[in-house]
Amino acid sequence: YRFEKGAGCDACGNTGFRGRVGVFEILRISPEISRMIMEREPSHKIVDQAKREGFRTMKEDGLAKVRAGLTTVEEVLRTVA
């Protein structure tokens, strides 16, 4: 995948982007994840199950927004790494 870098202008302070974009991590509590929590499964197992169910980390969400041209790799890594 090829990423572009904005040239910048006075309106964006020469950063190549302007404004804010939310980066989110939402864990939906499915019946299986609820069971795992109640049985005190290790967190890495819960995360693995959540990913099988479509969970996306903040970094993954941020990188999806990079691919959509909403932010830069540098900004995602600076804020969620």
pLDDT in tens, 10-60: 777 776 666 788 999 999 999 999 999 999 999 999 999 999 999 999 999
Check residue 62 and give its pLDDT: 94
Residues with Cβ within 8 Å of residue 14, at least 6 apart in sequence: 8
